[in-house]
Structure 1
Amino acid sequence: MVSKEFTIKNSMGFHMRPANVFVSEMTKFVSEVNIKFDGKTVNGKSIMNIMAACIKCGSVITVECSGADEQAMLDKASELIEGGFGED
């Protein structure tokens, strides 16, 4: 398992569009991905779970990837999150 902590930078937080982008990219990998936020763990391949987590701008999350292509998956997650999901 590999993991990394991130601070959500885009002004609208992890709302519908970035959640959709994130899930679309994460489902291209065979590894599992979880997002830890506010004491909860949510499935990073589930748009509904991500939306239900209510992750706002400035929130600190941890992305954990586990499986055969875990590092490539974490690298892609980093690219998306640190790039503000292409919004800001």
Structure 2
Amino acid sequence: MALDLGPRGITVNSVSPGIVMTRNSRYLVDNPGLAAQQTARVALGRLGEADDVASIIAFLASDEGRWVTGQVIDASGGTAL
């Protein structure tokens, strides 16, 4: 897609988040053992917040991100390391 849309000035990217604390992941609050296990997998030592991912998306959608295309941005806090 990035190759097809690039000539029209359209960037194409995706964001691959790790575990982000949302309504759907609040089960971790009730299960401290599981929360600790998941947190231990993250290089930054904490689970993500919605703003952690939203700021990356905002950057990609802004003029500052105009030279980034065809990328999958890992926003997992280092889970995939």
Q: Give the structure with the higher percent strand.
A: 1
Scaled by the length of structure 1, what TM-score is found? 0.28
Give the structure with higher Rg (CA): 2
